[in-house]
Structure 1
Amino acid sequence: MPLAHTPEELSAWLRLTLEPGIGPATARELLQAVGLPQRLYSLSRDELAALLPPPLAAQLARSPSPQHAATLERTLRWAEHPGHHLLTLADAGYPRALLAIHDPPPLLYLAGDPSRLSPQAIAIVGARHATPDGMANARAYARHLAQRGWCIVSGLALGIDTAAHEGALEAGAAGGGTVAVVGTGVDVVYPPRNRGLAERIAAQGAIVSEFPLGLPALPHQFPRRNRLVAGLTQGTLVAEAAARSGSLITARLAADAGREVFAIPGSIHSPLSRGCHALIRQGAKLVESAQDILDELGAGSGSAAPPPEPALPRDPVLAGMGYGPVHVDALAARTGLAVPQLQARLLELELRGLIARLDGGRYQATPMR
């Protein structure tokens, strides 16, 4: 894509993000003091020393190291390719929601469509080792919200993140899309088994990172990733989480930024419900349907709700259900659907009011059908 800045200007932005000892918060303070990065790097060592400790002032006054110079050149070449973007704090396309957090990244790497960084976005996060119910919930909520114009933001991890991205993609090109915020370089897929999903997101949505190209997965980078997941959105939905979970960090960061926090309750016997129950005790909004979220945040900019799907006898799940209560295992046998797919479909039908969930894993069609 054509660069929004000259190569010299963009090199200064990139170099600032690569400086050891200067994180996003310090970088923002420097930019507020002196203006754009090119101006910062035009200052003398003494002028820099008025803003920074002497070692950092000396560091910025020197020319970039050969290693950093090579990284700058490689990144500028990367940004010339279609679908590759570098967004700085000075760009009109930089997500406005991030400007409200304490330490917005000076620069974002983006693979995909920058327009997917919608102001109308919600995060869906949760356990990596999720239950089938948790995966079905995340997938159905993401699809339902994306169909109504909401962009679904998550972290490309296994489990709930994967289900959320897939649900948003199922809403199609007319939906709100999905954005994956990664804790690696934007060109690194982690976990590797999500490579196919990452390619679909880059083609139909966007992958975003604040980390340099090629940076592998390191544990300390994921809490930083989580603050961007929370910061890009109007609210965060935790679909399933243990009592000690990175998803709870994301929820706390969302609350600290003044964003809404939602949680789906679960069985009192499930360890993966405890994080959601703790959030609800702390003031998160309990949600039983996607409409609960829409009622809180607004209906969305999507057109109306999708047209109703066919009922009996053309809908295989409703046709297999019949008129009496049926257990999910029996319904899986009748329809031939895998249990995770069936649970996602059951939740969708429940959200539409076509079926009711009963005790003991049973479902029944509602009389209105």
Structure 2
Amino acid sequence: MESLYYTNAINLFYKFGPQRMAQIRKRIPEPQHIWEADKQTLIQTGVPEKVIDEFIAFRPTINIKKEWEKLDNLGVRMVTHKDDEYPELLKELYSPPIALYVRGTIPNESFPKLAIVGSRKVSTYGKQTTPDIAAQLAQTGIIIVSGLALGIDGLAHQAAVENNTPTIAVLGCSIDDASIYPRANYQLAHNIIKTDGAIISEYPLGTAPLKQHFPARNRIISGMSLGVLVIEATQQSGSLLTSRHALDQNREVFAIPGSIYNESSIGTNNLIKMGAHLVNNAQDIIDVLDLKTSPLFADDGPVTPDTYEESLLLPLLSKEPIHVDILVSTSTLDMAAVSATLTLMEMKGKVRNLGGMMYVRSK
């Protein structure tokens, strides 16, 4: 346990990142010895003298046990390379995290993990495809890894939660309640924990979501996954950086094709052009990764109408989004009846509301 105290304390010194710590630990393997080392010993690690001087000045400002108590009080655990819970695939990285701060439970290695990333500004197409694909994956026991961001990330996590499947959110900041980012996904983060998933980060308590943290966060998302699925990305999207990490880490890259007229599909279409696996459904991913899973699409039978109003609307609904106004004009029902029927059908899981008064069939 004392080793964890010192690891946490060292993590608080932000100039000792993963690469520098790997360099230090070649000479000084134990965290306690790093914390207590004199200047001459630390200089032998090859770390610049200026940084060593800053570290030596930093140490007296930290009460190691009190810093650990802060984690305990906030329900945050620390997982290191020595722990079974530390993802095996992460250990393969050139600069794996020194430790992971965890709330919830990281699913064990018997559960395959797939990263899903994409644009924060999600289109109607993205709102349709992300829950569909993510739900299909979750239903087979595949663990979805993403970054809790607005847009595609949040939709992917939400689909897993709704299917009672664990999912892992990797944050670019600390994971205590006061720091969870973005705040709009605060409740989603708690729902992830409640469904036996985890929110994790390599950053200690008090770390803000700074811009430079997110590329490092992305390497963890791809690094702990068998592959990365990109669902919508502009030409400059940060999710493309995650796909580049995946290639560097020898992971598979998948992409969902989109309209050539949609800016949010430029990145994914280019990925496919460069050799990423084109994905139409979850089975495409399962086949490439050669995963042994239960059949994806169990036949639940046809969706049948329960009321006269449903019998008029169901034939008009498909996987292509349709506007409420069109349903009104083609169904002979008035707006009030269409809206009420769609609401009931959504509650039954027959249709999904994409926003903007657009609907699709769920099955």
The SS at the match of 1:240 is coil
Alignment of 1:218-257 (within 5 A): 218-257=210-249
Tell me if structure 1 keeps the 8 A contact 2:321–2:359. Answer: no
Q: CA deviation at 1:136?
A: 1.8
The SS at the match of 1:80 is helix
Distance between the aligned counterparts of 2:32 and 2:311, measured in 1?
63
Alignment of 1:178-193 (within 5 A): 178-187=167-176, 188-193=179-184
Which residue of the partner structure matches residue 88 of structure 1?
A: 80
Tell me if structure 2 keeps the 8 A contact 1:96–1:119. Answer: no
> CA 1:116–1:203 in structure 2 vs 1: closer, same or farther (change >3 Å)?
farther
Tell me if structure 2 keeps the 8 A contact 1:105–1:210. Answer: yes
Distance between the aligned counterparts of 2:317 and 2:32, measured in 1?
71
Tell me if structure 1 keeps the 8 A contact 2:316–2:327. Answer: no
Q: CA deviation at 1:307?
A: 4.6
Q: CA deviation at 1:156?
A: 0.6
The answer to whether 1:285 aligns with 2:273 is no
The SS at the match of 1:236 is strand
Alignment of 1:1-369 (within 5 A): 5=1, 8-52=2-46, 53-61=48-56, 64-66=59-61, 68-69=62-63, 72-80=64-72, 84-115=76-107, 120-172=112-164, 175=165, 177-187=166-176, 188-204=179-195, 205-301=197-293, 303-305=294-296, 307-314=298-305, 320-322=313-315, 328-329=322-323, 336=342, 337=346, 339-340=353-354, 346=361, 349=363
Tell me if structure 1 keeps the 8 A contact 2:283–2:296. Answer: no
> CA 1:344–1:198 in structure 2 vs 1: closer, same or farther (change >3 Å)?
farther
Distance between the aligned counterparts of 2:73 and 2:298, measured in 1?
39
Distance between the aligned counterparts of 2:58 and 2:76, measured in 1?
27
Cα RMSD, aligned residues only: 2.8
Q: CA deviation at 1:162?
A: 0.8
Deviates further, 149-158 or 335-344: 335-344
Tell me if structure 1 keeps the 8 A contact 2:119–2:232. Answer: yes
Q: CA deviation at 1:149?
A: 1.1
Distance between the aligned counterparts of 1:332 and 1:116, measured in 2?
46
Q: CA deviation at 1:75?
A: 4.0
Distance between the aligned counterparts of 2:97 and 2:253, measured in 1?
23
Runs (5+) with no aligned partner, structure 1: 350-369
Tell me if structure 2 keeps the 8 A contact 1:21–1:56. Answer: yes
Deviates further, 191-200 or 10-19: 10-19
The SS at the match of 1:114 is coil
> CA 1:315–1:228 in structure 2 vs 1: closer, same or farther (change >3 Å)?
farther
Q: TM-score, normalised by structure 1?
A: 0.82
Q: TM-score, normalised by structure 2?
A: 0.83
> CA 1:332–1:292 in structure 2 vs 1: closer, same or farther (change >3 Å)?
farther
> CA 1:147–1:119 in structure 2 vs 1: closer, same or farther (change >3 Å)?
closer
Tell me if structure 1 keeps the 8 A contact 2:323–2:358. Answer: no
Tell me if structure 1 keeps the 8 A contact 2:35–2:59. Answer: no
Distance between the aligned counterparts of 2:111 and 2:67, measured in 1?
27
Distance between the aligned counterparts of 2:236 and 2:261, measured in 1?
16
Distance between the aligned counterparts of 1:81 and 1:117, measured in 2?
28
The SS at the match of 2:42 is helix
Tell me if structure 2 keeps the 8 A contact 1:140–1:345. Answer: no
Distance between the aligned counterparts of 1:318 and 1:161, measured in 2?
35
Distance between the aligned counterparts of 2:301 and 2:115, measured in 1?
30
Deviates further, 320-329 or 274-283: 320-329
Q: In structure 1, what residue type is equivalent to 2:167?
A: T
Tell me if structure 1 keeps the 8 A contact 2:85–2:108. Answer: no
Distance between the aligned counterparts of 1:344 and 1:208, measured in 2?
34
The SS at the match of 1:208 is strand
Q: How many residue pairs get matched?
A: 335
The SS at the match of 1:26 is helix
